[in-house]
Amino acid sequence: MRRELYGLVGGIAATVILGVLSWVKGSEAFFIQTAGWAGSASLIIGALISGNFLTGDRVRQHQANESKQDRKNRRTAAGVLIGFSLPLLAADLLVSLW
- pLDDT tens readout for residues 75-84: 888 899 999 9
Please give the helix or strand (H or E) that residue 15 lies within, else none.
helix 3-25
Domain total in the chain:
1
- pLDDT tens readout for residues 18-58: 999 999 999 889 999 999 999 999 999 998 888 777 777 77
pTM for the whole thing?
0.83
Domain of residue 15 covers 3-97
CB atoms within 10 A of CB 36: 17
